[in-house]
Structure 1
């Protein structure tokens, strides 16, 4: 599991229970009327819609420091969104009243929530631009970069290695198409997935292809 985050500001952890969700568990569903808000301390959660044909449509991936259910605390009509743990996830549980009380009375917590929402908005804006403007293979390049971290040698790596089906889900594509593109990148020496992780060995190529795609389309 990913390292947990320090609690934001003076939020007293002793007041709030923690819950553990195993990988694959649903944390919140549209029919959930508890009003609970979950602060992710460790792990990862994907937010998605369930399409009319039974296919899920991922919206955003959330990690440590993000909230699940926070929009409903402000009385907004949150779309029919599911939240699923994509790795073992630990959360801090606040009810709506506790969440709003902390916002009103704890300035550091209020700032933390505001920054979290701004970060989420930036990510969703970037995803919107990519999905509107980039062809499938370039969306894949952007997804690989976004979910990688630098190792001790300065390379971007993704570990544990996602399946091709998971990558396809994230970029609204098909597994077979992603497999073809990943094989091509491996042949070109852009990525190396021989050691149980994805190492990006030619980061400049991926970034260049993304810039070219955005620039070409933006100039139309």
Structure 2
């Protein structure tokens, strides 16, 4: 591990300051850099168990796949976020077929399972892991409520607003298929709703991109 990576862990790994000198040495001797291209699979459900990822740059998308092949985004991870489910084999009571891919070109630091298992002997690392696990399951429960009780118009409006915030502007570069995967809908239904939003002058739809024209009205739909 380079000195720059060690400095990054010291600054951005939440439990680093709680580690003993021996645990810090274990961490720094085992963690390593990983880079993934957009759409590259990082973690493949129960068939894989790499370890804990700290996102250094980019975005990871955690999703589940139905028997029919439809994808549903469960949560997204950005810079400084930690991907815990990629170390699911260390969580003996978790049986959750979640996959993770790079939503964009992504860089991360991987803490292998063997090393993280040693760190879990530290009560503060274990407590942090439990808090993070609880937070992720809260995300899952929110998603379930949204999917069951919220209409497509509300889910789509919320997603567009969220994605614009991530993009840092009015223009979102995304396909109808990608939106459908994020909000658990059929591509055809998403296309129809986008066309409706465009006719209402809320957005402008182009090839592979969407421009938000009226944030205020879109927010009203999302919060209705």
Q: Tell me if both proteins adopt one fold, taking TM over 0.5 as the criterion.
A: yes
For the pair 1:169 / 2:181, whether they are aligned, the reply is: yes
Distance 2:164 2:119 in 1: 33
Q: 1:47 aligns with which of 56, 62, 65?
A: 62
The alignment of Structure 1 onto Structure 2 pairs a total of residues equal to: 204
1:142 counterpart residue number: 158
1:157 counterpart residue number: 170
Distance 1:32 1:203 in 2: 42
Distance 1:157 1:71, change over 3 A: farther
TM-score when normalising by structure 2: 0.73
Cα deviation, residue 55, structure 1: 3.3
2:190 counterpart residue number: 178
2:4 counterpart residue number: none
5+ long unaligned stretches in structure 2: 1-7, 18-23
1:89 counterpart residue number: 106
Query: Contact 1:35/1:73 (CA < 8 Å) preserved in 2?
Result: no
Query: Contact 2:38/2:106 (CA < 8 Å) preserved in 1?
Result: yes
Distance 1:35 1:24, change over 3 A: closer
Q: 2:12 aligns with which of 7, 18, 21?
A: 7
Q: In structure 2, the residue corresponding to 1:149 is in which secondary structure?
A: helix
Distance 2:167 2:60 in 1: 23
TM-score when normalising by structure 1: 0.74
Q: 2:217 aligns with which of 200, 205, 208?
A: 205
Distance 1:111 1:49, change over 3 A: same
Cα deviation, residue 199, structure 1: 4.2
Distance 1:157 1:35, change over 3 A: same
Query: Contact 1:21/1:89 (CA < 8 Å) preserved in 2?
Result: yes
For the pair 1:24 / 2:36, whether they are aligned, the reply is: no
Distance 2:203 2:43 in 1: 35
Which structure features the higher share of helix residues?
A: 2
Distance 1:178 1:45, change over 3 A: same
Query: Contact 2:46/2:98 (CA < 8 Å) preserved in 1?
Result: no
Cα deviation, residue 133, structure 1: 0.8
- Two-structure CA RMSD over aligned residues (Å): 3.3
Query: Contact 1:8/1:112 (CA < 8 Å) preserved in 2?
Result: no
